[in-house]
Structures are given as C-alpha cells and as structure tokens.
C-alpha cells in the first residue's frame, strides 16, 4: 500500500522596523519533472496585501512572484503539500547504446542544448589532482557514476553549515567536509570535467523509518525525517536527467523532491 505524507514548511522573516519589500521570487513548489506524485499543494504568503504571479524561470522551474503594496515588519511563507511515496527504482531507466560505456560523446545537437551544463571552470590544484585520479573508462556508464558518487560520499564528511553560499570544489576537498550543497556542487563540477552534463538541484528530502529492520544494506533512518536538501543530476542520453546524491552515496529516489534545478 502506498504511503501518503503531508509536509508543512514555514519560513518567516521579522524586521525591527517597517521595510519596503521588493518583488520576492519563491522557489518552493515541487518541480514539474519531480517523479514523486504530488496530490495537493498550497503556498500562503503574508502580508495578505500582495499581487501574485506564477512563473517559470529560464530552466523550467516553477516560481511564485509576489509584489507587496505596503511597508511591513514581517514576511512569512507557508508551504503545505501531500505526496504519495510510491517506491521508485532509481536504476529503472534506459541508456542509448552509444552511451552505455564511459566515456561517450553527446551528439552535436545535444551538446549545443546542454552547453550551460557543460561549462568548466579552471582546474585548481587539489581539485585537478582529484579529477585526474578518476578512472578514464568503464564498461558501463552507470557503474562509473555509482562509483564516483560513493567516492565523494566516503571522502567528504557531511556537516550542517549555516554560512550562506556554496564552497568551491577546492575548499570542499581541502577541508574534506561540507554541507549537502557543497557536495552537490563538487559533484556537478567533477561530472563536467569528465565530459558529462550536470546541474545543481535544490529540494526536499523525505525519509521514512522502516517498519522492520533491514536484513542487508544500510539500516535507514530510525524515525521519519524531512529537510531541505541539495543533490546533483547528470544527463544521460536515453535516460534524461538522473539524480545523484553524493551526501548519501545513493541515486535519488522517491524521497528526493526537487523544487529548482539550475546550471549554477
């Protein structure tokens, strides 16, 4: 039987005086390509006196644009949605024959379409050394990706980091620790430097505790868990965008609900 979950997410900003709010762009709606079925969704914003326009950004992400008429000392966004946690096999996809082994080349037309997701910054010392250690070939592309994902999970210690922004790959590899967004961006850059198109994903991660203990494999969470999360998607011909979570070393499943995917 499918499990249905309800998520409630409040974000509130309080100011010590009346302020003029410029137009606010909110990206907290499940993306249109999310594979987890969304049964119901609502987004409520205060102050009540505002204009609302639903939009899509250049990358196809849903965006809620709010324009406020009067000064205010608070801004509150409340998201509620219900989702069916139908089990998704993360390996249930087809890869075109020419991309089954690594490395492979995108067709000229596809490479042109994926150009923003193939941009490579200059290699820094530690990052360059790490990329050079990656195997240059594999009989199966999916095996190559699984191994790469696990390597990062084992080397980069996960930490909750409250500072704004994302660490550079050089910083993350030097510190050997980072938040989920730092590991996700590191994997994006690694994939691009081996010739694979990749993008950064922001969304929700929902993990449910199992009714019984696992007999093999990782035990999973001991209690139901939800948080904002970041991961990576790589583009494979035939499969499209495939989610990879370097924080856990696993491919994205039904608990990964994206809200925005961008090349930067």
Q: How far apart are CA 46 and CA 82, in angstroms?
A: 22
CB atoms within 10 A of CB 119: 11
**The pLDDT value given to residue 205:** 96
For residue 198, the cross-strand partners are 234
pLDDT number for residue 225: 82
In this structure, are strands 38-46 and 240-245 parallel, antiparallel, or unpaired?
unpaired
Going 219 to 7 to 242 to 201, the CA torsion angle's sign is negative
What pLDDT is attached to residue 220?
60
pLDDT at 223: 77
pLDDT at 32: 93
Burial 149-158 (b: 16+ CB within 10 A, else e): bebbbeebee
Residue 29: alpha-carbon gap to chain centroid: 13
What is the Cβ-side half-sphere exposure of residue 90, based on CA atoms within 13 angstroms? Answer: 17
pLDDT at 215: 56
Q: What is the pLDDT along the chain (264 residues), one digit of tens a residue?
A: 689 999 999 999 999 999 999 999 999 999 999 999 999 999 999 999 999 999 999 999 999 999 999 999 999 999 999 999 989 999 999 999 999 999 999 999 999 999 999 999 889 999 999 999 999 999 999 999 999 999 999 999 999 988 889 999 999 999 999 999 999 999 999 999 999 999 999 999 999 877 666 555 555 666 788 999 999 999 999 999 999 999 999 999 999 999 999 999
Please state the three-class secondary structure of 20-72 as a single string.
CCCCEEECCCCCCCCCCCEEEEEEEEECCCEEEEEEECCCCCEEEEEEECCCE
Across the beta sheet with 62-68, what order do the strands follow?
24-26, 62-68, 50-56
pTM (2 d.p.) = 0.92
> Residue 229's beta-bridge partner residues?
203
pLDDT at 216: 58
């Amino acid at each position: 039987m499918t499990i249905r979950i309800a998520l409630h997410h409040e974000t509130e900003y309080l100011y010590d005086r009346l302020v003029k709010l410029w137009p606010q762009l909110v990206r907290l709606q499940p993306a249109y390509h999310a594979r987890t079925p969304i049964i119901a969704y609502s987004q409520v914003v205060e102050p009540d006196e505002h204009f609302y326009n639903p939009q899509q950004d250049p990358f196809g992400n849903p965006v809620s644009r709010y324009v406020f008429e009067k000064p205010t000392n608070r801004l509150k966004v409340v998201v509620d949605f219900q989702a069916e946690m139908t089990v998704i096999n993360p390996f249930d996809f087809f890869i075109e024959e020419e991309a089954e082994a690594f490395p492979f080349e995108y067709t000229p037309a596809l490479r042109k379409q994926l150009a923003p997701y193939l941009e490579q910054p200059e290699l820094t010392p530690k990052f360059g050394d790490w990329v050079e250690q990656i195997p240059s070939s594999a009989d199966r592309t999916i095996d190559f990706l699984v191994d790469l994902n696990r390597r990062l999970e084992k080397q980069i210690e996960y930490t909750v980091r409250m500072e704004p922004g994302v660490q550079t790959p050089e910083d993350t590899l030097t510190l050997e620790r980072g938040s989920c967004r730092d590991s996700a961006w590191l994997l994006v850059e690694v994939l691009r430097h081996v010739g694979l198109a990749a993008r950064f994903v922001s969304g929700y991660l929902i993990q449910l505790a199992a009714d019984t203990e696992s007999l093999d494999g990782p035990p999973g969470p001991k209690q139901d868990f939800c948080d904002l999360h970041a991961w990576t998607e790589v583009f494979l011909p035939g499969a499209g965008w495939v989610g990879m979570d370097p924080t856990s070393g696993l491919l994205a499943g039904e608990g990964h609900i994206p809200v925005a995917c961008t090349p930067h």
